[in-house]
Amino acid sequence: MYYWFFIAAIAVFVFSNFQDSSSESTDGYMSPRMQVLQGVLPSDVNCKSGFELIFKTSNSMPFCVKPETAKRLVERGWGTATLNSQIIEKPKTSLPSSHMFEIIPAASGTALNFYVYDDDLNTSPNGIDIISTSGLIEATINGVQIEIPSKMVETSPSSGKFYLRIALPDTVNGEELDQDDIVLVRYNDESDAAGETRVVSSSFPLSKAFANLELADGGKRIGHEFTLRIYEPDANLDSKRTDRISLSLLEFRSGSIRTTLANPVFSANSGFLIETGPNTNIFEVKIKIPRSIDGKTIHIGDWYEIRYIDSSTPSGTAEKVVLKERIG
């Protein structure tokens, strides 16, 4: 059984023809992610000339991509894209009660992006509805209620999907928030399909990083093969095929040793961490800890680290995801 923080954040893919994902370029352009963090609705994100706006199917987050990339991603079912000034979207489907809303979790001090799916709130067929959140939505952290915006806005005319950006505090009751603190969001549905009032809720732990590293089948003995596993949704570019993460993106450290897992001394069974199946978001590779690296010996009792730089964290910053283990 796998243990991870499943955190669906504002995703920024390592994709060669996506626009720069940094907070702001030298010409003053702000990336789609940072525009959303500043309160811009996903549907209102601006792209640079030559790029088109596309929305990831799983969470409706905006990306600016080249036209040929937009077409390919739509064909693969990854998302919906703006092509020829027309939004191409998947047909609407009725959502079960457990999916009446969608949360893109975040870290303390950043923003939680919240979507409500409720056609009952769509009262203006040809316009965008703005709905009061009073009595409708509440959010708590560790049982303490936090402030939320007074209004939420429909994502597009007649979509029945409403967007709310909830700023998360750094502290609650004077105590600094930490990883694993629990956020709970409740949506008070005033009239479900049966005309009844109900409460739909979802909880999740805060996390400082989006990806998560894990060892399996060892990792503590020199020369013994083990599995390195990473949960990284941002590397899942194709929902119908298995994707890959280059070993050069993972750094190995032990004492003064600094190298990447692409170094052949690790005897990896592949040059990549390979997704365990289409759309699983879980990537694996088998490696061995060698006796020495670049002439430097690794001893029993030494600590080592495997580091992955997650550039798509909820805080909008690049965070080091570090796995530490000791040679037994």
Class in CATH terms, 212-326 = mainly beta
Q: What is the pLDDT at residue 107?
A: 58
Ramachandran angles phi, psi of 297, nearest 5°: -85, 140
Indicate the pTM of the whole model.
0.42
Q: What is the pLDDT at residue 21?
A: 40
Q: What is the pLDDT at residue 257?
A: 96
Q: Per-residue pLDDT tens for 8-44?
A: 333 333 333 444 443 444 455 677 776 765 667 777 7
Tokens of 94: 């009725």
For the residues 209-227, what does the mean pLDDT come to? 82
Tokens of 53: 């706006």
d(CA 174, CA 152): 28
For the residues 48-59, what does the mean pLDDT come to? 78
β-pair partners for 151: 132
Q: Per-residue pLDDT tens for 78-110?
A: 777 653 333 333 333 333 444 466 666 565 666
d(CA 322, CA 316): 18
Q: What is the pLDDT at residue 161?
A: 83
Q: Which CATH code fits 97-205? A: 2.60.40
d(CA 40, CA 150): 16
Whole-number average pLDDT of the chain? 75
For the residues 207-217, what does the mean pLDDT come to? 70
On whether the CB atoms of residues 65 and 73 are closer than 8 A, the answer is yes
Do 97-205 and 212-326 fold alike per CATH? yes
List the domain boundaries for the chain: 1-91, 97-205, 212-326
pLDDT of residue 211 exceeding 70, the answer is no
